[in-house]
Chains A and B, each alone.
Chain A
């Protein structure tokens, strides 16, 4: 498709926080929100606010309808078979912890192996460290090559006959590289292991179909894909979810309670204890509608164009090293880099002086950065609403950093 300046201008106009004053290039941390998402949350509280799933009056029924409509939209968005398999959480972190507590602790035992990759965000690492410690299972790490690439052979070699659980991201928040979860889930299943996919970074940038991937669990956050903070999703196969104990216990997740115990509600409510984030779900519904309106063709093409442009521009700046692949197709807008002799926190502070928002630090992936030999880096992460002009602003700032720190070249 031909993407015109007019189309880009209209998209940018949908986002109230996006102006020409600041170049927001920290989209992997959280995305900006279109007006329709902000309005959806507002509309829920202005016109439908009541506790969903409980009330027997019309207002509560309306709240329930919106909440369940959001669940159906999520189901369709990620290609799940049933809304029973869509559990609302706060974010991907909570989703992954739910699997660790409710599946791993009850299904792993001493001597079992858990496989995670060194690429993972701490959210897809620490829950499995906990599960390993509590069950006596062994945690193994898969190491990619230094550009972050994993091959089928590397994956097969990392599995053992004792591997019962594999946890892997679909898209690295540091390197921007995507991973072929469909192949890895198939191989894991051949070995009898359960496969958990972390979709926190992939869901906002590439079309996801959990049925096609055939992953057993899949976690993502709303706030990285235009929705409000505080609403996230866990997809789980019904056959697994049915056999799991609840993660949290309390209101609206039971059928019947006595002084001695309780029987749990049907899926997905078994895993949604307490009053739910219906306003957030309304926002997530609007975010999904926004994605559908825009279409993946536009999003993927635009993000690739921007990534290619940014990588070309960065190449011209001396003393800058990009982490990961040298191919734009393997970055999905995520450009993590270092500048010789300039600390990333100073880079982020100087870029802030230039009106450019970037992330500095370890990006919640300390083991990966240690493996790559770069304890601290800076990350520019693009989204479809960014522009070449914003990238120019970023690379112009990038080119001044060393001289501003007193270097002569």
Chain B
């Protein structure tokens, strides 16, 4: 087969995501939507003392959006908010094509999405999970409220 953007790392995260499930004890969550592909995810985090203890996502979308969210969670679970934000900054810069070799290595498997920097129509898919995580930290009150509502809805149903 020819050289493909859809490498095994990407397709494996898409088909067999480790973190695509509900997270009943999440205390922060937000929805992220990319109207161009119709990607729609809800990112759920359990944050204690400024540390991401656990995380998950649910939703639908293209392989890039789904795999990217899964890779992100692989990377940030166990990290502090500050570390997660720093990695997110590196990821977003990778997509824009401004990144050092060392930084690329820090992203681990998420670095497999580097070629998105040459695919302008897919940038929004790749950054969806990361943007949603940044928004959770930018608007913690809103994210905590969404998590409370999410639990209430689950409790009722």
Residues of chain A touching chain B, judged by Cβ–Cβ distance below 8 Å, are: 342-346, 349-350, 353-354, 361-362, 375-376, 400, 404-407
Query: Which of B11, B121, B122, B125 contacts A405, CB < 8 Å?
Result: B11
B152 within 8 A of A: no
A residues near B15, Cβ cutoff 8 Å: 405-407
Sorted from nearest, which 8 A-B pairs have the closest CB atoms?
A406-B11, A343-B62, A345-B62, A406-B15, A345-B37, A346-B63, A405-B11, A346-B62
Nearest CB of B to A76, in Å: 40
B154 within 8 A of A: no
B residues near A362, Cβ cutoff 8 Å: 38
Quick check: B2 and A353 within 8 Å, CB to CB? yes
Quick check: A350 and B4 within 8 Å, CB to CB? yes
Quick check: B37 and A343 within 8 Å, CB to CB? yes
CA–CA, A20 and B63, complex, Å: 30
Interface residues on B, range: 20 to 34
CA–CA, A355 and B98, complex, Å: 29
What 0/1 readout, one digit per residue, does chain B (52-80) give for beta carbons within 8 Å of chain A? Answer: 00000000011110000000000000000
Quick check: A404 and B62 within 8 Å, CB to CB? no
Query: Which of A349, A375, A406 contacts B122, CB < 8 Å?
Result: A349
Quick check: A405 and B63 within 8 Å, CB to CB? yes
Nearest CB of B to A37, in Å: 28
Nearest CB of B to A156, in Å: 35
A355 (CB) vs chain B CBs: closest residue: B2
> Can you list 10 A-B contacts (CB < 8 A)?
A349-B122, A361-B38, A362-B38, A404-B4, A404-B6, A404-B11, A405-B15, A406-B8, A406-B15, A407-B15
Most chain-B Cβ atoms within 10 A of its Cβ — which of A353, A375, A407?
Answer: A353
Quick check: A405 and B6 within 8 Å, CB to CB? yes
Nearest CB of A to B14, in Å: 7
A348 (CB) vs chain B CBs: closest residue: B121
Classify the secondary structure of B's interface with A.
loop
Nearest CB of B to A371, in Å: 16
CA–CA, A346 and B125, complex, Å: 11
A354 (CB) vs chain B CBs: closest residue: B2
CA–CA, A353 and B119, complex, Å: 12
Nearest CB of A to B34, in Å: 10
Nearest CB of A to B13, in Å: 10
CA–CA, A361 and B37, complex, Å: 7
B residues near A343, Cβ cutoff 8 Å: 37, 61-63
CA–CA, A376 and B63, complex, Å: 14
B13 (CB) vs chain A CBs: closest residue: A406
Quick check: B6 and A345 within 8 Å, CB to CB? no
CA–CA, A219 and B62, complex, Å: 35
Nearest CB of B to A408, in Å: 10
Query: Which of A344, A346, A349, A406 contacts B12, CB < 8 Å?
Result: A406
B16 (CB) vs chain A CBs: closest residue: A406
CA–CA, A380 and B16, complex, Å: 29
Quick check: A353 and B37 within 8 Å, CB to CB? no
Quick check: B63 and A375 within 8 Å, CB to CB? no
Given the contacts A353-B4, A405-B11, A405-B15, A346 and B38 also touching, CB distance less than 8 Å: no
**105-124 of chain B: CB within 8 A of chain A:** 119, 121-122
B residues near A349, Cβ cutoff 8 Å: 5-6, 119, 122
CA–CA, A223 and B125, complex, Å: 30
**10-53 of chain B: CB within 8 A of chain A:** 11-12, 14-16, 36-38
Query: Which of B14, B37, B61 contacts A406, CB < 8 Å?
Result: B14
A residues near B4, Cβ cutoff 8 Å: 350, 353, 404
Nearest CB of B to A299, in Å: 32
Quick check: A404 and B1 within 8 Å, CB to CB? yes
Nearest CB of B to A398, in Å: 15
Given the contacts A349-B119, A349-B122, A376 and B37 also touching, CB distance less than 8 Å: yes
